[in-house]
Amino acid sequence: MPISALLFDFDGTLHDRTRSLRSFLPWHATLLSTRNPNDFTQRFLELDNFGYRPKEEVYEILIEEFQLKKMSVSELMVHYRNLSLPYTVEMKGATSMLETLKSKGLKIAIVTNGATSFQKERISFLRHDEYADAVLVSEEEGVKKPNREIFCRAAARVGVPISECLFVGDHPLNDVVGPQKIGMQAVWFENGEFAWPDIPQPQLKISSLSDLHSLLSEEFR
């Protein structure tokens, strides 16, 4: 079956979220007058769990552990939302890959869980929205991955049948198993952040975005 559209996860796929945080957090820690920015950075990343733990919980623990008594959770959340944007970096090769796919006439969508304004600001900052025919953020959609509805909406918005869409993402359940359940093909971006669970391994895997070009040539001629 030919592929007419590629649907991408954002954090951990197009956006190198971990590298962005490693760049932002030491400065954030210094601004908060913590004694050891490196310890603060490492602890934040541990608690954050690749974005799957609410930031409010992360900051509640950090306030206690690093004695940030002068700052409230809400104030720290404002710091994070407003000051981290300039530290946003894309996954290696993301823009060049999107340019190539667009030049081939393929439709592109970005499908991400998260807060609408926060995610769209970062997608725009990286200029990935310039290549996307649709951007779906879970808060705005009222449904999140791996719910089948968000994948169906993405296919509909790019005007491509589900069977001709290929989803690319790093989370085994949200980005691979989820779309496969509705008959959409999926590629696991094995970036080292998530281990594959105790279920059959996917047939399609890449370890870098540059691998996607050869995979498309070999698997979907």
Helix (H, G, I), strand (E, B) or coil at 33: coil
Closest CA to 6 of 133, 194, 142, 144: 133
Quick one: tokens of 141? 């959609």
Quick one: tokens of 59? 């900051």
Distance CA 220, CA 21 (A): 35
The pTM score is 0.94
- Confidence (pLDDT) at 101: 95
Beta bridge partners of 144: none
- Confidence (pLDDT) at 201: 83
Residue whose pair of structure tokens reads 């690093």 in the numeric block: 66
**Cα 30-35-38 angle, rounded to 5 deg:** 70
Residue-by-residue pLDDT tens, the chain, 221 positions: 689 999 999 999 999 999 999 999 999 999 888 889 999 999 999 999 999 999 999 999 999 999 987 889 999 999 999 999 999 999 999 999 999 999 999 999 999 999 999 999 999 999 999 999 999 999 999 999 999 999 999 999 999 999 999 999 999 999 999 999 999 999 999 998 888 988 888 889 999 999 998 888 876 65
CB contact at 8 A, 90 and 126: yes
